[in-house]
Structure 1
């Protein structure tokens, strides 16, 4: 539990204890709605050029509270079903195979391959684009604007320009689907928007829901696959456990989510009233005052030594307790978690099965992290295939 300073000297409490986080994430005294419960927003002190502006400004289930959250999540979950996700397996396997063909072509003579660029990134973005009916020629635009969302040290001009571009891309998608509906989730959400009922989505909620589902729907999976590959290449004994049948690919996915959560710290939540943390098992005498912001430190929570022991920072696929908060907890638990897991469970065995001699092409300590305290991954993942 620590006070932290976000960009532009905005204060918040960062919470990394998994047990305390669970209690706060399920406490009715904690909100995600800045319009109702964050004085800095209410008083106009958060400007559109703030690097985290979109994270708090969107009007969708991510920032909703109480009955509004239930209304919005119900509308989305009716489209994002477990059956629809499971039905994607053959297509994900097909996309994976084609991408690995491309990887083989790029690295066929021993050249270094940026696996994040050639595999970790294109797989999730192609899957989510097809799921929401985003034209393939818009994939580059979508990647760039989503990257900007996670760039937490962006300059003000970059923030405002990317915000406008983000909504331009989403607006074009909505108009295209209004003119030519398809069997995709954007069309489904449009039906919820245009059904004329009071429970339907507003136009802004529709756009912001697409921002959430398409943006969060691929960036997190990019980092999951990236971090899993990196962990297995830097811990060959763990890869050997999987190949020998002492552990499974599911173990690798869950241990990656615990040890290197794809979202490191997620903004923001707000105290609806004063919260005495000692009552929740937290530090005695520490109070989060009404209106103060809370940052969920998911990556730190996954390495809490009080929960996981002294080797909490060690990647170990045979670890018994791999429970984690990487997809959140409570009513805001990530709706796309089954899809992210499915993609990783397909991608990893396919990659290591196709290229059993895969190695890192640079020392691990030289790999640079993405420029974000939200997104947790590498700027590049250079490998050689043999």
Structure 2
């Protein structure tokens, strides 16, 4: 990525499928068009897409390209309506949407409070949650002998974990799930979007009042206690910080668990390697799933603070850039001609499933932790687990952001004690 004079060549315009029906096919087609393309999102909003792994990694770390939505010229010109659904993932008051000193100020309380030790303390509770859900799965089987693993295992498990970690009261969990769904889905209406924003604000304010009155051993209490003096976060910033954690900690973990399960059930040779391996083999399953079928499809957005040139294409200051994390993780230039193949013994392990640069996701340890807690017991308890549908007919989650399937129907087979 270098500065140069404006290139007059017009990059091709592609229309991003808001329903994500052919995520990897779409990414491959964009890659064939060139390392930089122009994309149209729902509502006619246009952004740039960098399809090359190495160029996107460089761009994510470039100090001239930030995440602060206040630098988005289209928004400043009033061209983005307030009820545009994807705006809730961009116009935030947390570390994800700030740069430089402000980014460090907003991220610092999280790095102090959201620690591996805090997650590890939940391990006995997580193991009990997994065991209970596995016990209950046979009771979820329908008359056709099929159970949906997403609905009855991968969906409730991460939400329960992240809510307990944050300190969300249990009666609120179902509603939080519904609110998160309205954010990541492409079929959310403008009215639903605005209602979600108001309701989640009210819920966080109620939680803050509860934890200020009666602190507990949870992340919300820790953040509130460690929030005074210079650089303290406002309530709005705390809201958006916890909203980011509950959204990312829930949705990405669901997708990781489901994508790994689907990958193994459709690649019997890889499943055989897992069954013949040891505990470290599961770690390779998780990493290859993160590369081969990353939980995040496309993530909006980054904004250059000056004109930049990428692969001969000038991206003007203030234009939006969409990051196709799942797409670049199958870039043949990075992973070879077999980049589309699921291979847990792949020599190149590095990927960008969690982004890159200073805004890299703060919760990859939790996502890996949850996947390692959920996957081995599932396959151990139900060794004859198999898909109950044609893999090609599984429907994608209707989302630009989430990369997974909306259901995973399986036959459990006999349970093993």
TM-score bracket, shorter-length normalisation: over 0.9
Matched, 1:199 2:226: no
Task: Give, in whole Å, the separation in 1 of the partners of 2:204 and 2:402.
Answer: 22
Find 1:316's aligned residue among 322, 343, 350.
343
The aligned counterpart of 1:83 is: 117
- The range that moved more, 340-349 or 241-250, is 241-250
Matched, 1:116 2:143: no
Q: Is the 8 A contact 2:386 2:411 kept in 1?
A: yes
* Paired positions, count: 377
The aligned counterpart of 1:4 is: 39
The aligned counterpart of 2:368 is: 341
For residue 85 of structure 2, give the secondary structure of its aligned residue in structure 1: coil
The aligned counterpart of 1:33 is: 68
Q: Give 1:309 shift.
A: 1.3
The aligned counterpart of 1:350 is: 377
Q: Is the 8 A contact 2:285 2:344 kept in 1?
A: yes
For residue 97 of structure 2, give the secondary structure of its aligned residue in structure 1: coil
Q: Give 1:109 shift.
A: 8.2
Task: Give, in whole Å, the separation in 2 of the partners of 1:373 and 1:330.
Answer: 22
Task: Give, in whole Å, the separation in 2 of the partners of 1:293 and 1:110.
Answer: 47
Q: Is the 8 A contact 1:141 1:169 kept in 2?
A: no
Q: Deviations over 1:280-299 (max 9, x none)?
A: xxx2x211110111111000
Q: Is the 8 A contact 2:74 2:319 kept in 1?
A: no
Q: Is the 8 A contact 2:119 2:165 kept in 1?
A: no
For residue 133 of structure 2, give the secondary structure of its aligned residue in structure 1: helix
Q: Give 1:30 shift.
A: 0.4
Q: Is the 8 A contact 1:16 1:301 kept in 2?
A: yes
Q: Give 1:34 shift.
A: 1.2
Task: Give, in whole Å, the separation in 1 of the partners of 2:343 and 2:313.
Answer: 34
Distance change in 2, residues 1:79/1:350 (3 Å): same
Q: Is the 8 A contact 1:16 1:298 kept in 2?
A: no
Find 1:228's aligned residue among 248, 257, 260.
260
Distance change in 2, residues 1:71/1:168 (3 Å): same
For residue 4 of structure 1, give the secondary structure of its aligned residue in structure 2: strand
Task: Give, in whole Å, the separation in 2 of the partners of 1:153 and 1:6.
Answer: 13
Alignment of 1:82-231 (within 5 A): 82-107=116-141, 111-193=145-227, 195=228, 197-231=229-263
The aligned counterpart of 1:50 is: 84
Q: Is the 8 A contact 2:295 2:404 kept in 1?
A: yes
Q: Give 1:127 shift.
A: 0.5
Q: Give 1:108 shift.
A: 9.4
Task: Give, in whole Å, the separation in 1 of the partners of 2:134 and 2:296.
Answer: 26
- The range that moved more, 46-55 or 264-273, is 46-55
Gaps of 5+ in 2: 1-35
- The Cα RMSD (Å) is 1.5
Task: Give, in whole Å, the separation in 2 of the partners of 1:255 and 1:364.
Answer: 19
Task: Give, in whole Å, the separation in 2 of the partners of 1:329 and 1:87.
Answer: 28
For residue 96 of structure 2, give the secondary structure of its aligned residue in structure 1: coil
Q: Deviations over 1:180-214 (max 9, x none)?
A: 21110011122234x2x131101110111111011
The aligned counterpart of 1:280 is: none
Task: Give, in whole Å, the separation in 1 of the partners of 2:381 and 2:164.
Answer: 25
Q: Give 1:166 shift.
A: 2.4
Q: Deviations over 1:230-278 (max 9, x none)?
A: 111111111101111287001110010001000001101101101112x
Find 1:72's aligned residue among 99, 106, 121.
106
The aligned counterpart of 1:276 is: 309
For residue 375 of structure 1, give the secondary structure of its aligned residue in structure 2: coil
Find 2:402's aligned residue among 369, 375, 384.
375
Q: Give 1:362 shift.
A: 1.1
Task: Give, in whole Å, the separation in 2 of the partners of 1:254 and 1:43.
Answer: 42
The aligned counterpart of 2:59 is: 24
Task: Give, in whole Å, the separation in 2 of the partners of 1:191 and 1:65.
Answer: 25
For residue 95 of structure 2, give the secondary structure of its aligned residue in structure 1: coil
Q: Is the 8 A contact 1:110 1:384 kept in 2?
A: no
Q: Is the 8 A contact 1:251 1:318 kept in 2?
A: yes
The aligned counterpart of 2:317 is: 290
TM-score, with length taken from structure 1: 0.94
Gaps of 5+ in 1: 278-282
- The range that moved more, 79-88 or 346-355, is 79-88
For residue 14 of structure 1, give the secondary structure of its aligned residue in structure 2: strand
For residue 39 of structure 2, give the secondary structure of its aligned residue in structure 1: strand
